[in-house]
Amino acid sequence: MIRNLTELYQYRALLIALSIRELKARYRASVLGFLWTFLNPTLNMLVYVLVFGMVMRASVPNYAYYLFTGLLPWLYFSSSVLGGTSSISDRKDLLTKVRFPAQVLPATVVLTNLINFLLSLPLLLGLGLFFGVVPSWHIVFLVPVLLVQTFFILAVTYLFAALNVAFRDLQHIVGNLVQMAFFLTPVLWDLKSAPAIGSLTKEESQQLLLTFNPMASVVASYRDIFYEQRLPNWQPLLSVAALSLVLMWISTNVFERRREEFAELV
Amino acid sequence: MTPSGDAIVINNLFKSFKKTSKKNEHTTVKSELVRLLKGQRRLVEPGTHIEALRGVDLRIPKGATVGIIGRNGSGKSTLLKLMTGIYSPTTGTIDVHGRVSALLELGAGFHPDFTGRENILINGIILGMSRGELKERMPGIIEFAELGDFIDEPVRTYSSGMFMRLAFAVATHVDPDVLIIDEILSVGDEHFGRKSQTKMNEFRRSGKTIVLVTHDLATVQNWCSAAAWIDGGRIRMYGDAPSVVNEYRRAVAAAEAEGQKTGHSALDQPGLALPTMDEVQGGVPLGTIAAVRLKDGKGATPAAFAPAAPLTVEVDWAVREKAKVRFGIDLMSADGRLVFSTGWDGGELSGSGTARLELARLGLGGGVYELLVSAAGNGEPVKNPFRLALHVAPTEGVGLLRPELRWSL
């Protein structure tokens, strides 16, 4: 794991250059260009507000802002995983023609989406101000939350990217998995409104969700920082960090074991 | 430890690939899960793997220019990819000392929407240059590519020649210790071709190691200090370039002759080794051609013949027993077209001797031609027809033919 990540650090120039290119290329041919970085999540949010706003407006004040605090970190996660899964299998041109550290490719996808996410944060704060929510000092906790989230995303993306080279079925499955995870994550709905599952109480089922869905804890932390303006609950966040570490260990092991076949199978 | 004099050391290198074309043998999630659950290791089962390289040993000294030749599917490109580190060996070792730059495909990672300048940056970093190095070399690269104002236009507006020039310029400015090239010396028009040739010569002079895979045997002969002939995944021959190339040519010619007689030959089967000379000969041959020499009017063999000079082809022959011998010589242009063909009955011959074909005047335009010298004893063709290159010095005008001509007013 350490070797894989230090190698990534050694190739940071490549990683950064590829990410910048990715960002530039993404909107190059469009009229509105870079504005799409902000327009995309905004439009996405408006769609959800239109559909779910009717139901939720009563129980959650400033629903649009509430939704946005969860949607932005979710989009960071989902576009990284969706884009990262095929990041290696799609780059036959690079992998078979030059000696190329393969982990740079999924990392590039993650970094690109991270930058996109950071760029859209002012939009989030702006929307907050629009609803009269002035950002509080709790915003400094964004740093550890973002670190944990990025580490988690990188681990997931590594794993999927490495496996997808040999099993292309994965890229089709991942789309559906991510969509399912979206509904299992309190982005559109409030964690407290989670229904009781089976014989469990409401609290227990919420706990279950936080335990088995790392993104639920991550989104909840963002909510704490930006919406509730309080300290994020560190317990679930720490367990996400621990889980990410284990996952990263597994991912890099799988990655290293499979990397030899990348050039042959892409 | 390897002696410091070697740039590349390969020991007993094997590389096999999994066959993916066979039905029911795709890896699927299911088959892989089953394998995982059963705790099986990925087995190398006979028949499901293709062995591209089967025990290659090769030492390439520092500063050498080595041409790698062989038929399609003999394992040349696989070997290059192993040298570059794109593939890793199945078994065996490969050690490369120094910074490697591979020109396997030009323009890896070029993005059509970006300008030439932006693509130099990204491509350069992909090829292993640092930002500082790139900044320093950028003017040199731009100048070498000769794109003029196009350097700030998106690459998708480039002609294919411009694209290749830019890519070639970046790749050759990496300043590697070991340069690995796959069939790309012919980039762009004549002018740029010469320029890249000069660049390559510069590499060679400055003591860089160059490994080159090509089907252009003339380049190997003229330009490489050594050649390795790969056949059926093994090194068939490794030594000085002209003799390896000659041996290779003879083997191909022999396999072709075999194919003409039996209707199939090793050449039809990809990956199969060419038969060795002994195999082809199959028993004691009736007759052989021992050597072929090309001479001009003075009995000398110049590097290139003048179009107006006389040419003598001397064929040393030998027969085991008395036989009716017929000699044949075909002259082919570089693109394989027959320029002329001549045959001659030498009558009943025995023992050995030399047959001569004399052309009072060569009459060919400048370029490289190929002579195919064959013979038949009692209607049975020799198993080892000779192929050799004939270089004709360039003159005013182009074309295959150079008749004696005179302009006047």
Residue ranges covered by each domain of chain A = 2-265
Residues 6+ apart with CB under 8 A from B281: B383, B384
Token look-up 């040349």 returns B76
Q: Residue A58: what pLDDT?
A: 65
Please tell me which residue, A113 or A207, carries the higher pLDDT value: A113
pLDDT per position as a tens digit, A77-97? 999 999 999 999 988 878 887
With a cut of 70, say whether residue B46 has pLDDT above it. Answer: no
pLDDT given at position B399 = 83
Lowest mean pLDDT, pick from A42-56, A77-91, B122-136, B250-264: B250-264
- B268 vs B118, higher pLDDT: B118
Instruction: Name the DSSP class of A196.
Output: P
Give me the CATH topology for the region B6-99+176-234. Answer: Rossmann fold (3.40.50)
pLDDT band of residue B204 (cuts 50, 70, 90) is confident
DSSP type of residue B275: P
> Percent helix, strand and coil across chain B, each rounded to 5?
30, 35, 35
> pLDDT confidence of A76, banded at 50, 70, 90?
very high
> Which tens digit of pLDDT belongs to each residue from A178-193?
999 998 898 888 877 7
A60-74, B57-71, B336-350: lowest mean pLDDT where? B336-350
Cβ–Cβ gap A167/B18 under 8 Å: no
Number of residues that make up chain A: 266
pLDDT band at B49 (very low <50, low <70, confident <90, very high): confident
Q: Given the structure tokens 């990188």, which residue do they identify?
A: A154
Average pLDDT over residues B142-167: 87
Chain A residues within an 8 Å CB radius of B109: 93-94, 98
The band of A135, judged by pLDDT with boundaries at 50, 70 and 90, is: confident
Could you give the CA distance from residue B236 to residue B69 in angstroms, rounded to a whole number?
10
Report the alpha-carbon distance of residue B360 to residue B308 in Å, rounded. Answer: 9
Helix (H) or strand (E) run with residue A231 in it: none
- Token pair belonging to B241: 């370039």
Q: What ranges do the domains of chain B cover?
A: 6-99+176-234, 285-409
* Res. B28: pLDDT tops 80: no
The structure tokens listed for B139 are 């003017």
A62: left (phi over 0), alpha (psi -120 to 50) or beta: left
* B299: exposed, middle or buried (Cβ count in 10 Å: 0-12, 13-18, 19+): exposed
In chain A, what percentage of residues exceed pLDDT 90?
Answer: 45
Report pLDDT for B280: 43
The CA distance from A205 to A20, in Å, is: 42
Q: Nearest 5°: phi and psi at B185?
A: -65, -25
State pLDDT tens for residues B78-121: 898 888 888 888 888 898 888 888 777 777 778 888 888 888 98
**Residues in B touching A28 (Cβ below 8 Å):** 113
Helix, coil or strand: residue A2: helix
CATH architecture for residues B285-409:
Distorted Sandwich (2.70)
Residue B20: its pLDDT value, please? 57
Q: Answer whether B28 touches A (CB < 8 Å).
A: yes
Q: How close, in Å, is residue A239 to chain B by CA atoms? A: 28
What's the mean pLDDT when you consider all of chain A? 88
Q: Is the pLDDT of residue B310 over 50?
A: yes
> How many Å apart are CA A109 and CA A23, to the nearest integer?
10
Question: Count of CB atoms within 10 A of residue B91's CB?
Answer: 13
B243-249 mean pLDDT: 86
- ipTM value, please give it: 0.76
Q: Quick check: A96 and B86 CB within 8 A?
A: yes
The neighbouring-strand residues paired with B91 are B14
Helix, strand or coil for residue B71? coil
Residues of B in contact with A167 (CB under 8 A): 27-29, 32
Q: Name the H helices within chain A.
A: 2-10, 12-26, 36-56, 63-85, 92-95, 104-130, 142-166, 169-183, 202-212, 214-222, 234-265
> What is the SS3 assignment for B233?
coil
